[in-house]
Amino acid sequence: MSIRFRSAMILAASVAFGSSALAQDPQSLTIATASPGGVYAVYGEGVAAVISKAVGIKTATRQTQGPVQNLVLVEGGRAPLGMTTSGPAYEALQGELSLKPGDKHEKIRALFPMYPTPFQMIAPKESGITSLSGFEGKRIGGGPKAGTGGLYWPQWLKSLNISANVQFGGIGDQASQMADGRLEGIVTAGGIPHPSFSELETTQDVNIFGMDDQTLAQILEANPYAVEFTIPKSTYKTLDNDIKTAAMWNFMVGSSDMSEDLAYKIVKAVHENHDQLVMSHAAAKDTIPENILKNTIVPLHPGAVRYYREVGIEIPGNILPPEMR
């Protein structure tokens, strides 16, 4: 058999069986996370460690502005994995994402649930601020502009008729600014306990507070991707009682271009090494297979569907990938 004929046979086989038959795992992976000082950064490092060890592919994290930018990076093939929340994910699928208006992100596929992201507020105790209305006319931090908090807090404050001077930047840096008196409070969104909040309450007296019933109801009615959430008093030493707030669920996403086998191995590794992941951050306690059903928006990757079906979870048709519906 000639070399030319053998090559033609190999090419024909690859077409017959699909390109995935010859696909090989990449030598490395990158997870798009967020700015330092938030839960995304810490949680992402934990996931990277699990994948590196269990899947055998060297995985690192990439600092970004958060969920919105992560969706753009994954859709554009500039990051194989990205962390996002339900609100921005919905907007991306609809072509309404702030960074890419008009562009429908059709390659985004959900891999596994992460944890709910509650919207959290903090202010110096000496300010006397114990509610959102107390931020009226105040200079406050809102985290990265493209992050979940940076995206939604300005909209929510405006809808509540609260005129605050919201500054954007890394949440870790903004925590330092509040400690120095350059900011009069911080509104953000992140897993609990939020590292920056925990650090602040160990260095100064602070008020960490939630939303009153009227405020919460107004936000939930206007934002169907948000859910009510309770932050237990044990989360922060500052709290005397549980506090209520709004939250959005977080998910790890990848591209539809990722091979089914690789997606399956990543999802399997994360769920079968749950204890190791929780050691990286307590928020990972919610990274369990059944919570994939908290996603009602983003189509799953076929490799993820394969894993969840293996462990007995029935995937609703609305989140099956288009090719499996």
Task: Give residues with Cβ within 8 angstroms of 87, minimum separation 6.
Answer: 148, 151, 152, 223, 225, 226, 248
> Which neighbouring-strand residues pair with 109?
254
pLDDT band at 23 (very low <50, low <70, confident <90, very high): low
Higher pLDDT residue, 159 or 8?
A: 159
Instruction: Looking at mean pLDDT, say which of 16-20, 31-35, 143-147 comes out highest.
Output: 31-35
- Average pLDDT of the chain is 91
Residue 20 has pLDDT above 80, yes or no: no
Q: What is the pLDDT of residues 120-179, one digit of tens each?
A: 999 999 999 999 999 999 999 999 887 788 889 999 999 999 999 999 998 999 999 999
Query: Which residues belong to CATH 3.40.190.10 in the chain?
Result: 25-114+251-324, 117-248
Query: Residue 2 pLDDT more than 50?
Result: no
Q: Is the pLDDT of residue 3 over 60?
A: no
Reported as a pLDDT band with limits 50, 70 and 90, residue 35 is confident
Neighbouring residues of 19: CB distance < 8 A, sequence distance ≥ 6: none
Phi-psi region of 32 (alpha: psi -120 to 50; beta: other; left: phi over 0): beta
Topology of 117-248 in CATH?
Answer: D-Maltodextrin-Binding Protein; domain 2 (3.40.190)
pLDDT band at 313 (very low <50, low <70, confident <90, very high): very high
Whether pTM > 0.75 for this model: the answer is: yes
Residue 10 makes CB contacts below 8 A (sequence gap 6+) with: none
Q: Is the dihedral of CA 124, 132, 137, 170 positive or negative?
A: positive
Nearest to 276 by CA among 48, 107, 62: 48
Helices (H), the chain: 3-17, 39-54, 67-75, 86-94, 148-159, 171-179, 195-203, 213-222, 260-272, 274-280, 302-310
Of the ranges 92-101, 106-115, 295-304, which one carries the lowest mean pLDDT score?
A: 92-101
Confidence band for 39, pLDDT divided at 50, 70 and 90 = confident
> pLDDT tens for residues 175-224?
999 999 999 999 999 888 999 999 999 999 999 999 999 999 999 998 87
pLDDT of residue 37: 79
* CA distance linking residue 177 with residue 219, whole number of Å: 28
Superfamily of structural domain 25-114+251-324: Periplasmic binding protein-like II (3.40.190.10)
- Paired with 62 in beta bridges are 32
User: Residues 20, 50: contact at Cβ < 8 Å?
Assistant: no
Task: Report the length, in residues, of the chain.
Answer: 325
- Position 4 scores a pLDDT of 44
